[in-house]
Amino acid sequence: MPTVMITGANRGIGLELARQYAADGWRVLATCRDPKHAADLRQAIGDVVIKELDILDFPRVHAVAKAWKKEAIDLLILNAGVYGPRPSMLGGLDYDAWEEVFWTNAMAPLKVAEAFIDQVARSDRKVIAAISSKMGSMQDNTSGGSYIYRSSKAALNAVMKSLSVDLADRGIGVVVLHPGWVRTDMGGPHALIDVGESVSGIRRVLESAAADLGGRFVNYDGRDIPW
């Protein structure tokens, strides 16, 4: 039975990832900040283990890694993230909030990846996937604005690209994923696709071998996205 670990698994894309993988027979290590209020996650059918984890709490990250030190994690999905204040436009930027978004979207995912490298390395599939956004793509940015979110996702992309190089000799593939514009709390009700379609596409991408995923920035439908 393969194992997937998901951060931010209590709602939106993370919750649907947990549901789909559990329904498909995977062992799911699902983490979120407040499991007591994760009713939908607790109702997921299958082998789902829920653990409290705030990715900004680095001592807690290491504590969870220690608790799961014997696990072999085939797929580590770094999903937890925030958008930050809206709008994020010139003349009205909240610089304190910007720092918090950077910690959440770029630095904390690397800390989680660092803490669980050994568990991923001992698995069969050996894949680390970060949920990013094409809003972090330089080439795709033709509309400007959204300074806080765009810059945090661009930073995440750079971090994961470096990680893909550093972990290549351990056979670990690192991939950056754009889930599409999804109807979630973050994406809003007018987004183009529902969460089920997004996650089904993400899962198809992640079925590729680790060597084929390493260092790529990929859309949920399998198309590569320019950095």
Domains of the chain by residue range: 3-219
Structure tokens at 22: 């559990």
Structure tokens at 82: 């925030």
Residue 200: what pLDDT? 96
- Kindly report the pTM of this predicted structure: 0.95
Decide if 147 is catalytic: yes
Question: pLDDT (tens digit, 9 = 90+) per residue, 145-186?
Answer: 999 999 999 999 999 999 999 999 999 999 999 998 877 776
Residue 191: what pLDDT? 64
Which of these, 134, 191, 165, lies nearest to 12 by C-alpha position?
A: 191
Catalytic-role residue among 21, 83, 95, 147: 147
In CATH, the architecture of 3-219 is 3-Layer(aba) Sandwich (3.40)
| pLDDT band of 187, cuts 50, 70, 90 | low
Indicate if the pLDDT at residue 15 is higher than 70: yes
Distance CA 130, CA 132 (A): 6
Which amino acid belongs to residue 116? F
Residue 141: what pLDDT? 96
Element (H, E) at 205: helix 195-206
Instruction: Compute CA 3 distance to the chain's CA centroid, rounded to the nearest angstrom.
Output: 16
Average pLDDT of the chain to the nearest whole number:
95
Average pLDDT rounded to a whole number, residues 200-213: 94
Question: pLDDT (tens digit, 9 = 90+) per residue, 87-140?
Answer: 888 888 999 999 999 999 999 999 999 999 999 999 999 999 999 999 999 999
Q: Where are the alpha helices (DSSP H) in 70-146?
A: 95-102, 108-115, 117-121
Which amino acid belongs to residue 79? N
Question: pLDDT (tens digit, 9 = 90+) per residue, 79-88?
Answer: 999 999 988 8
Residue 3: what pLDDT? 98
Residue 88: what pLDDT? 82
Indicate if the pLDDT at residue 189 is higher than 80: no
Average pLDDT rounded to a whole number, residues 54-81: 98
Which amino acid belongs to residue 204? R
Average pLDDT rounded to a whole number, residues 44-53: 98
Residue 89: what pLDDT? 84
Indicate if the pLDDT at residue 70 is higher than 70: yes
Distance CA 191, CA 14 (A): 17
> Which DSSP symbol is given to 171?
T
Indicate if the pLDDT at residue 53 is higher than 70: yes
